[in-house]
Amino acid sequence: MKKTVLIILAVMLSCSLLFAQGAEEANTIKIGVAGAHSGDLASYGLPSVNAVELVVANINAAGGIDGKMVEVIVEDDQCKPEIATNTAAKLVGEEVVAVVGHICSGATKAALGIYNESKIVVISPSATSPPLTKSGDYPNFLRTIAPDDAQAVLQVDFALNVLGSKKIAVLHDKGDYGKGLAEFAQAAIEGSSAEVVLFEGVTPGAVDYSAVINKIAQVGADTVIYGGYHPEAAQIIGGMRAQGLDIAFIGGDGVMDATFIAVAGDDAEGVYATAPVDTTSNPIAIQAAAEHQAAYGEDYGAFFLNAYSAALAIVNAIDVANSTDYDAIMAALKSEYVQTAVGNISFDERGDAIGVGFSVYQVNNGTFAQLD
């Protein structure tokens, strides 16, 4: 048994060594897609793969960019920072020109260290952590989704001005995205006419949130702002309504998901959520949805349109710059506007997309509908 294992390992090792000195192909442009493609966050990462593959298929069918075919290289990082670095190393080794990814902010932060030095353009469809662009540490990073501080400000604005909230309970799921969003919301509320009556984290996966919900009732909150994902949000809203707490609930883009409505059922009615502006009526978005249906036989998932747009932006930039050189592509991305599924966008010097933003949605008759 041991011998067999050793032999297999030796064979694999030699195979990998062989592939390591792979043949150089100067006639293809390689674009990488990195994110969570397995594990429990796979549903956030897989739609991006589909998006990039569809865009590249269209481009190749039209003859490629300047006659060169485009190749998509898909790599999984399971949303883990330490695996993301290996993923980045792999993509760098494959000599990709640009990467659409990663999906999770934490994994992105780890991987950017490698992409930065290797001068590779990275556009994320979903990494919303503000320091990625605001800190200035990652000049090669762009994103087709607005950062979380903008989202939090919108949430608080909405609560104060539209709902007239005075006592807001801010909850989060102790995760990078959720707590970040909550902290920005808290900062936005402080100094305004409302007060933060509760700021606490809930444990994802717990069987019962009644303690926190009792607390919310106890402190007399009139609104709940939640930073986190839909599974916990569904639990919390279910518990709130079951205990007769009929106050407003505002979630972020992690909450805006069909599964939230399915799990929470009737309790989901009236729940607010902020999410990227609804661009599904955008002609490119409609086309993308149709392509997805035709190719994969089902509706697209999270961040699909953002990833589709990222891919379009990259392809457009390479075309306009007429080269795959890092500086040329970057310059093109930051100066050119390109029609995408999320609108007519460009990127500012820090990497945030110009022309994307968030808006507020509300569950109405079983679906999320954009307000105003």
| Range 199-218, binding another protein (CB under 8 A) | 200-203, 205-208, 210-212, 214-215, 218
Interaction mask 85-104, another protein, x per CB under 8 A: xx--xx-xx-----------
- Mark the segment that binds another protein (CB under 8 A) among 72-80, 159-167, 313-321, 360-368: 72-80
C-alpha to C-alpha distance for 315 and 304, rounded to whole angstroms? 17
Phi/psi for 367 (5° steps) reads: -140, 160
CA 310 to chain centroid, in Å, comes to 12
Residue 45 or 343 having the CB closest to another protein: 45
Pick from 12, 295, 354, 369 the residue near another protein by CB under 8 A: 12
Residue 59 or 132 having the CB closest to another protein: 132
Residue 135 or 193 having the CB closest to another protein: 135
Pick from 47, 125, 180, 351 the residue near another protein by CB under 8 A: 180
Residue 271 or 345 having the CB closest to another protein: 271
338-367 residues in contact with another protein (CB under 8 A) are none
Pick from 7, 162, 242, 369 the residue near another protein by CB under 8 A: 242
Report whether 83 contacts 77 (CB < 8 A): yes
Whole-number Cα distances in Å, 11 to 6, 19, 61: 9, 12, 38
Give, to the nearest 10 degrees, the angle between helix 42-61 and helix 283-296: 100
Q: Give the Cβ contact number of residue 71 at 10 Å.
A: 16
Residue 101 or 231 having the CB closest to another protein: 231
Pick from 96, 234, 271, 332 the residue near another protein by CB under 8 A: 234
**Residue 101 Cβ vs another protein, minimum distance, rounded to whole Å:** 15
Helix/strand/coil for 346: strand
Report the run of H or E that residue 168 belongs to, with start and end: strand 167-172
Report the run of H or E that residue 200 belongs to, with start and end: strand 195-201
C-alpha to C-alpha distance for 268 and 21, rounded to whole angstroms? 54
80 is a contact residue toward another protein (CB under 8 A): yes
**Residue 110 Cβ vs another protein, minimum distance, rounded to whole Å:** 4
CA 276 to chain centroid, in Å, comes to 10
Pick from 7, 10, 162, 258 the residue near another protein by CB under 8 A: 258
C-alpha to C-alpha distance for 328 and 320, rounded to whole angstroms? 9
How many binding residues for another protein (CB under 8 A)? 73
**Residue 360 Cβ vs another protein, minimum distance, rounded to whole Å:** 23
Residue 68 or 179 having the CB closest to another protein: 179
Dump the DSSP string for 27-68: TEEEEEEEE--SSTTHHHHHHHHHHHHHHHHHHHHTT-BTTB
Q: Which residue has the tokens 């659409």?
A: 100
- Mark the segment that binds another protein (CB under 8 A) among 54-62, 112-120, 316-324, 351-359: 112-120
Q: Kindly give, in sequence order, each residue whose CB lies less than 8 Å from that of residue 262, ignoring residues fewer than 6 positions away.
A: none
23 DSSP assignment: P
183 is a contact residue toward another protein (CB under 8 A): yes
Pick from 32, 47, 125, 175 the residue near another protein by CB under 8 A: 175
Residue 164 or 265 having the CB closest to another protein: 265
Pick from 23, 26, 191, 244 the residue near another protein by CB under 8 A: 244
C-alpha to C-alpha distance for 320 and 213, rounded to whole angstroms? 54
Pick from 57, 68, 131, 357 the residue near another protein by CB under 8 A: 131
